Amino acid sequence: MDRSRYADLFRTESRDQLSAINRALLALEQGEAAREPVDAIFRGVHTIKGMSATMGYAGVAEFAHELESLLDKVRTGEQGLTADLMDALFAAADALEDGVEQAREDAPLSPLMHRVLERLHDVAGGRATAEFRVVRPSEAFRITSEMALPPEDAAAPGPAAAAPAAPAGGGAGATVEVVQEASTLLPGVRAFMAIQRLRELGEVLRSEPSVEALQAATVPQRFTVELATTAGESELERAVRSAGDVATVRVTLRAAAAADAGPAVAAVSAPPYNRRASDQLPAYGRRASDALAVDDLLTTAERAAAAAAPSRTRHVRIELSRLDTLLNLVGELVIVRGRLQALTRTSPDPALQEAMADATRLIGDLQAEIMTSRLVPVGQVFDRFPRLVRDLARQLGKDVLFAIEGKEIEIDRSVLDEIGEPVVHLLRNAVDHGLETPEARETAGKPRAGRLTLAAHRDRAAVVVTVRDDGRGIDREKVLARALERGLVDAGTTRLDDAALLAVIAHPGFSTAEQVTDVSGRGVGIDAVQAKVRALGGALEFTTEPGRGTSVAIRLPVTLAIVRALLARVGEERYALPLTHVRETMERAPAAIRQVQGKDVLVLRDEVLPVLRLREVVQLPAGARGSAAEEIVVIERGDRRAGLVVDELTGQEDIVVKSFDAVRDGAALFSGATILADGAPALIVDVGSLL
């Protein structure tokens, strides 16, 4: 079998485990009850070891085994936790992550793994003695078979022998019988993960086959788990199915009051299953006629029930490239829909109109489903930042209380993949520049530990990601002095508001740091953030208050692919305004626009809004100002609003956003381009650049 085709699955599963390991390490360092985090770290390392051994990644498996042996000493109390040991464990997690990403079959321990192991052994006071070696496929057959075979002189199990052991103490319990899908990849790992999920709901008393035998399995398994638990049937089933690749789950509960009821226990026992050595061999190691299928593990009644019942698989893995292809196709379909609507709008044929309405509805539903399928929680990116903040705080000698809010907020996968870099820059700036040292905070009457928050929330069709701290804030006078020195502001400037301050510190190469460090000082942080956010069609919002802290908000579209837009004409050109930034529209009334201190303003009910003319913004030749044909679009971003004057509003469309290369050193006025229903191109106005 070519195991290389499972490499992507191995890395995906391992990354999930590594994320859990890092979370548990942080919880352990922050003083939570030691048992649970240590158990979580141990489970993650153990799972990676099993998967690595199955894939033949000898170096990763050996490293994980050594780390597991040390963690076992911590679990049993033989090894105490110290600050040095925590640092070594964090380094081990990094080395394990590097090993997973670089894993190759039969590759030995990497130099980084060797260094980390030496450090672990120095801190822990000696090398782990448990022997470990990665079994090869030929050995795996034999080992699996030997573990599954009963003793030769064992009698055939009778009804009494088949009954599962009662939960200890006669308490409430359950028997969970699991059958894996015939197409299960890494069945041993999946089985182990299912048992780990059950352990979170109670105490696992017995597994048949044993946990060790299941981990070594290379073919889909049927296994029974007996546990003491108060969880319900549906909760237990959900826990097992969350491990993935599960065909059937049968849960039988045992009430606490029936602790001594022998017949009731016998009634829930699993049917006898005689495991032959040949049953455990992979299909590619035997003749086709001998190949093992999952149905071989089921009784006739179970097979009939499985055939009659609908599949209960809840999730499937799919390559992101396929979702991208689907999104591109539905985008083209949206463009074609618009063209068809334009062509059929004047048709007198009612049947054609009805068919067009049905097609429009179905394409809209398809678009909505595909867009929804691409949404993922921002927590997938946010989960890696606590470790980043922890390492920075230790490096800089600062105490930081880091909080994450809104991890469940969903955003398009393509946007999520891009926001990690700007958030990293903002967090590094906050820890280095924003938060003071414990001594400085104490002198200023603040708690020694600074507060740093990473938050996400929905604002209509946008997602706002905010990084805020309670540090010293930005010294406006110092920034102004450096800006005057470099000629970035007019010579007569005496004060910088938040918008002007952001414009200055986002200038390439600008920094107020006196010296360059590993963390900052090169003037690329905010500049890189703003460039990335603008490329995503988003905007940056900035507030700071001396002595109180700084807040930087990244406003991003939920998706970059298809948006609803208002179409505006200026001269012969048409532009698209995303509806998420349009508050209302109005015809230009003679008294609507007035002059205040030489500038045009729009008087809208109780508000006075600045006026922008799209013709002047895009630098088209001047037209007849004040023409009766002019219309006004009230645009907004956050709490900022303005009136945008255009020649004409021509309608609304779902537009497919296409990226384009802007003119070098040109104004950042557009976030993309699109093709309209009539086939004409149009630029998408970046409202954030206007306000």
DSSP 610-659: EEEEHHHHTTPPP--TT-TT-EEEEEEETTEEEEEEESEEEEEEEEE-B-
Average of per-residue pLDDT values in the chain: 76
Q: Which residues pair with 452 in a beta bridge?
A: 402, 469
401 and 503, same domain (yes or no) = yes
DSSP 49-72: HHHHHHHT-HHHHHHHHHHHHHHH
392 and 508, same domain (yes or no) = yes
545 and 595, same domain (yes or no) = no
Q: What is the pLDDT of residue 525?
A: 67
Where is the domain boundary, 278, 308, 338?
308
Q: Cα separation of 27 and 477, whole Å? A: 40
Residue 214 has pLDDT above 50, yes or no: yes
Q: What digits encode the pLDDT tens for the residues 364-399?
A: 888 888 888 888 888 888 888 888 898 888 888 898
Give the structural domain span for 597.
562-689
Mean pLDDT of 46-50: 86
Q: What is the pLDDT of residue 153?
A: 40
pLDDT band with cut points at 50, 70 and 90 for residue 470: very high
Residue 31's domain is classified under what CATH number? 1.20.120.160
Identify how many contiguous H helices and E strands the chain contains and give both numbers: 22, 22
CA-based diameter of the chain, in Å?
Answer: 103
Q: What is the pLDDT of residue 223?
A: 92
**Which region among 87-101, 346-360, 483-497 has the lowest average model confidence (pLDDT)?**
483-497
Residue 138 has pLDDT above 50, yes or no: no
Q: What digits encode the pLDDT tens for the residues 56-88?
A: 888 888 898 888 888 888 888 888 888 888 888
Percent of the chain residues topping a pLDDT of 70: 77
502 and 408, same domain (yes or no) = yes
Q: For the chain, give percent helix, strand, coil, nearest 5.
A: 45, 20, 35
Please give the structure tokens belonging to residue 253: 């509960």
Residue 276 has pLDDT above 60, yes or no: no
Q: What digits encode the pLDDT tens for the residues 226-265?
A: 988 888 888 898 888 888 788 889 998 876 544 344 433 3
Instruction: Provide the residue type at 243 as one letter.
Output: A
217 and 295, same domain (yes or no) = yes
Evaluate whether 462 touches 481 at the Cβ level (below 8 Å). no
Q: Which of 107, 110, 135, 105 is nearest to 10 (CA)?
A: 105
Domain membership flag for residue 154: no
Q: Which residue has the higher pLDDT, 133 or 488?
A: 488
Domain membership flag for residue 155: no
Find which of 255-264, 314-323, 436-445, 488-497 is predicted with most confidence, using mean pLDDT: 436-445
Please give the structure tokens belonging to residue 266: 């016998």
Q: What is the pLDDT of residue 451?
A: 92
Domain membership flag for residue 159: no
Per-residue burial over 35-61, b if 16 or more Cβ lie within 10 Å, else e, is: eebbbbbbbbbbbbbbbbbbbbbbbbb
What's CA 35's distance to the chain center, in Å?
27
φ, ψ dihedrals at 294, nearest 5°: -60, -35
Q: What is the pLDDT of residue 469?
A: 93
Mean pLDDT of 538-546: 85
Mean pLDDT of 96-101: 89
Q: What is the pLDDT of residue 152?
A: 37
Residue 278 has pLDDT above 50, yes or no: no
122 and 169, same domain (yes or no) = no
Q: Which residue has the higher pLDDT, 271 or 635?
A: 635
Q: What is the pLDDT of residue 310?
A: 44
**DSSP H or E stretch at residue 460:** none
Residue 365's domain is classified under what CATH number? 1.10.287
Q: What is the pLDDT of residue 312?
A: 47
Residue 659's domain is classified under what CATH number? 2.40.50.180
Where is the domain boundary, 354, 374, 394?
374
Domain membership flag for residue 35: yes
Evaluate whether 687 touches 635 at the Cβ level (below 8 Å). yes
Q: What is the pLDDT of residue 177?
A: 92
Q: Cα separation of 460 and 580, whole Å? A: 7
Residue 224's domain is classified under what CATH number? 3.30.70.1110
Q: What digits encode the pLDDT tens for the residues 571-608?
A: 888 999 988 788 888 887 666 788 887 788 888 877 88
Q: What is the pLDDT of residue 466?
A: 93
Q: Cα separation of 173 and 253, whole Å? A: 6
Q: What is the pLDDT of residue 170?
A: 47
Residue 417 has pLDDT above 90, yes or no: no
| First-residue to last-residue Cα distance in the chain | 60
Q: What is the pLDDT of residue 75?
A: 82
Domain membership flag for residue 528: yes
Evaluate whether 570 touches 618 at the Cβ level (below 8 Å). yes
Residue 546 has pLDDT above 60, yes or no: yes
590 and 605, same domain (yes or no) = yes
Strand 246-254 to strand 648-656: parallel, antiparallel, or no bridges (unpaired)? unpaired
Q: What digits encode the pLDDT tens for the residues 279-330?
A: 333 333 333 333 333 334 344 444 444 444 444 445 666 777 888 888 888 8
Domain membership flag for residue 645: yes
Q: Cα separation of 67 and 135, whole Å? A: 19
Q: What is the pLDDT of residue 344?
A: 87
Domain membership flag for residue 642: yes
Q: What is the pLDDT of residue 84?
A: 85
Q: What is the pLDDT of residue 627?
A: 52
Task: Please count the structural domains in the chain.
Answer: 5
283 and 392, same domain (yes or no) = no
Residue 549's domain is classified under what CATH number? 3.30.565.10
Q: Cα separation of 484 and 493, whole Å? A: 8
Q: What is the pLDDT of residue 663?
A: 56
Residue 275 has pLDDT above 80, yes or no: no
pLDDT band with cut points at 50, 70 and 90 for residue 454: very high
344 and 295, same domain (yes or no) = no
Q: What is the pLDDT of residue 513?
A: 60
| Number of neighbouring beta carbons within 10 Å of residue 595 | 9
pLDDT band with cut points at 50, 70 and 90 for residue 666: low
Domain membership flag for residue 56: yes
Where is the domain boundary, 537, 557, 577?
557
Q: What is the pLDDT of residue 178?
A: 92
DSSP 108-167: ---HHHHHHHHHHHHHHTS-------PPPHHHHHHHHHHHHPPPTTPPPP-HHHHSPPPP
436 and 346, same domain (yes or no) = no
Q: What digits encode the pLDDT tens for the residues 11-30?
A: 888 888 888 898 888 888 87
Instruction: Provide the residue type at 276 as one letter.
Output: R
pLDDT band with cut points at 50, 70 and 90 for residue 467: very high
Is this model's pTM higher than 0.75 or not?
no
Q: Cα separation of 390 and 399, whole Å? A: 9
Q: What is the pLDDT of residue 291?
A: 34
Residue 1 has pLDDT above 70, yes or no: no
296 and 336, same domain (yes or no) = no
Q: What is the pLDDT of residue 317?
A: 67
278 and 336, same domain (yes or no) = no
